[in-house]
Amino acid sequence: MVRKSPVEDRHLLKKPQFDGRPGWILLTHNEEGLATALFVDSKEKTESVSIILDERVFSDTVIRAVRLSKDVFLAYDLKTLNGVHIFETQAFERRQETLRGILEMFHHPDLTALILPEDAPASAILRGYEYYDDQPGTLGAFLPAEE
């Protein structure tokens, strides 16, 4: 929900973007009705993720994420929450508040850690910055750290 483009005056919010494997975390139910978490990368490779998260958020929730390692993901944005497309109705900052609340209230990083970019480990490599405006449904702008 970000693309490489010029930063405009309307882009008032700046977030770091780190190097890793970008993709989506899908929280859903499998054929047997059991909660399941999947990571789908940008090449559409899908793999199961062992995660401790309250089952109430597994009704078609989609999180934009970057995989830093086997068991650490940076959670960047929330596209869908329990089947509701909040990207279209909430600005980036509000989606961040919702995502932060979900992680603080329902997530335990024992198996797989979902962390926000501002909590990235010191070893994470900065790729650049994402800039967002205050309008729902708009894409952010990305600028590399070095060009």
pLDDT tens digit string along 21-32?
999 999 999 999
User: Looking at 8-12, 36-40, 59-63, which range is the least confident one?
Assistant: 8-12
Residue whose pair of structure tokens reads 């008032």 in the numeric block:
12
In the beta sheet, which residues pair with residue 108?
52
- pTM across the whole model: 0.92
pLDDT tens track for 41-84:
999 999 999 999 999 999 999 999 999 999 999 999 999 999 99
Residue 3 pLDDT: 79
Task: Identify whether the C-beta of residue 92 lies closer than 8 Å to the C-beta of residue 100.
Answer: no
Residue whose pair of structure tokens reads 């909590």 in the numeric block:
119
Cα distance between residue 63 and residue 93, in whole Å: 15
Pick the CATH number of 21-122 from 3.30.420.40, 3.20.20.70, 3.30.470.30, 3.30.465.10: 3.30.470.30
Between the CA atoms of 52, 79, 17 and 119, what dihedral angle is there, to the nearest 10 degrees?
-40
> Which amino acid is it at 95?
R
